[in-house]
């Protein structure tokens, strides 16, 4: 039996999961895992599974609670429609590279991968997501969370082994052109804005100097950062790539604005959080990211506008307009204005004396 948001059900009765996971086979693999030399948990007595997220029948994330001879143990499981062993392998390499449980900046411990089931088990990290903090807590807690997010990403970009498939700006610009054409087909007021964004985006991208690619999370955002006791943990490594580090920073900033818009009712509501995140990132991360941020922010604003259009939610027109306006804003702002607004404001606001030296 499986516990879901709808109660306890038989997993095989949940139609979207039938091609992804068989409960009897799952229990067998968990029995083997508990009795393995690495785990050493003894005989398996009881299993409870709680579905956390289903991605269009392509993958499913679930929590696993195990009762064994030695006590209770909690894991996260993730099953895919296709083989994703490379995600487990990358997590193992990151763990060995220093992002382990004893480190201040870490990832969940990879536990096992079952090739026959396309299934990965990893540590279930106890703590709150940064998204929860930003939605539920006050300003001081929000800024503390932003500091930890910026510091984690800077540590990752400067020390993580450079692994994964390379993603290049040229390919992302091709996607942006398709999104611009789709948005332009809606007519005004979207057509003119979409065309202007893409033209400015191409011009800004062509002016960028080359930058060395680094390990990138690929979807670094508040919901993927867990604030655990003594460590900051980043989860969900499915989109790991080798990329311009500006990409991760821009994704986080755009996701912050989306969170503010969707959960707090004002896309400006988390601006101080964005400033604090970026300041803490550049204090120990690559400073060159600042000049490159507008290009990647605009790309992700365009992608968000495309997703809003596709969603056809009641507010989609308003959200598409906001995203295009934000893309125009970052591409039109002088470079110095961007640096001062995102970096000097936290200094002035707190009256602290900051230094880039560690």
Burial class of residue 317 in the structure, from the number of CB atoms within 10 Å of its CB (0-12 exposed, 13-18 middle, 19+ buried): middle
Residue 18: predicted pLDDT: 52
Q: Where are the domains of the chain?
A: 2-123, 128-350
Q: pTM for the whole thing? A: 0.88
Q: Which residues pair with 77 in a beta bridge?
A: 62, 121
Residue 54 reports pLDDT greater than 50: yes
Share of the chain above pLDDT 90, in %: 70
Residue appearing with tokens 């002035």: 348
What's the topology of domain 2-123?
Phosphorylase Kinase; domain 1 (3.30.200)
Q: In the structure encoding, which two tokens stand for residue 221, read together?
A: 């955002």
Residue 153 reports pLDDT greater than 70: yes
Give the DSSP letter string of 110-147. Answer: EEEEEGGGTEEEEE---SEEHHHHHHHS-HHHHHHHHH
Q: In the structure encoding, which two tokens stand for residue 138, read together?
A: 């006050």
d(CA 324, CA 180) in angstroms, rounded, equals: 10
Please check whether residue 56 is in contact with residue 67, taking contact to mean a CB–CB distance below 8 angstroms.
no
pLDDT tens digit sequence for 179-194: 999 999 999 999 999 9
| CA angle centred on 59, ends 150 and 177, rounded to 5° | 65
pLDDT tens digit sequence for 286-299: 989 999 999 999 99
Give the DSSP letter string of 172-204. Answer: HHHHHHHHHHHHHTT-TTHHHHHHHHHHHHHHH
The distance from CA 57 to its chain's CA centroid, rounded to whole angstroms, is 20
d(CA 255, CA 222) in angstroms, rounded, equals: 7
What's the topology of domain 128-350?
Aminoglycoside 3'-phosphotransferase; Chain: A, domain 2 (3.90.1200)
C-alpha pair distances (Å), 177 with each of 35, 195, 212: 53, 9, 25
Region 14-39 average pLDDT: 74
């Amino acid at each position: 039996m499986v516990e879901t948001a709808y109660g306890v059900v038989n997993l095989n009765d949940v139609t979207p999961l039938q091609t992804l996971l068989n409960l009897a086979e799952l229990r067998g693999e968990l029995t083997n895992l508990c009795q393995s030399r690495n785990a050493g948990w003894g005989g398996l007595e009881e299993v409870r599974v709680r579905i956390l997220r289903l991605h269009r029948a392509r993958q499913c994330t679930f929590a696993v609670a195990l009762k064994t001879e030695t006590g209770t143990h909690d894991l996260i499981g993730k099953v895919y429609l296709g083989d994703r062993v490379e995600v487990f392998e990358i997590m193992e390499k990151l763990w060995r590279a220093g992002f382990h449980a004893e480190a201040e900046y870490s990832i969940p411990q990879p536990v096992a991968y079952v090739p026959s089931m396309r299934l990965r088990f990893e540590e279930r990290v106890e703590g709150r997501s940064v998204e929860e903090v930003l939605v539920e807590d006050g300003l001081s807690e929000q800024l503390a969370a932003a500091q930890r997010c910026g510091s984690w990403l800077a540590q990752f970009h400067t020390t993580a082994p450079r692994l994964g498939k390379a993603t290049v700006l040229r390919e992302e610009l091709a996607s942006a052109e398709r999104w611009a054409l789709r948005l332009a087909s809606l007519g005004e007021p979207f057509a003119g804005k979409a065309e202007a964004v893409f033209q400015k985006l191409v011009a800004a991208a062509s002016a960028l100097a080359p930058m060395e690619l680094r390990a990138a999370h690929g979807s670094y955002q508040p919901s993927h950062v867990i604030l655990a006791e003594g460590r900051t943990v980043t989860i969900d490594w499915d989109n790991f790539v080798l990329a311009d580090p500006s990409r991760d920073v821009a994704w986080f900033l755009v996701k912050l604005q989306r969170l503010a818009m969707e959960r707090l009712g004002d896309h400006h509501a988390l601006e101080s959080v964005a400033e604090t995140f970026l300041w803490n990132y550049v204090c120990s991360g690559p400073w060159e990211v600042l000049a490159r941020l507008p290009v990647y922010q605009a790309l992700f604003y365009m992608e968000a506008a495309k997703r809003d259009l596709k969603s056809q939610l009641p507010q989609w027109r308003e959200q598409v307009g906001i995203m295009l306006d934000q893309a125009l804003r970052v591409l039109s702002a002088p470079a110095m204005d961007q640096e001062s607004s995102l970096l000097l404001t936290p200094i002035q606001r707190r009256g602290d004396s900051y230094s880039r030296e560690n």
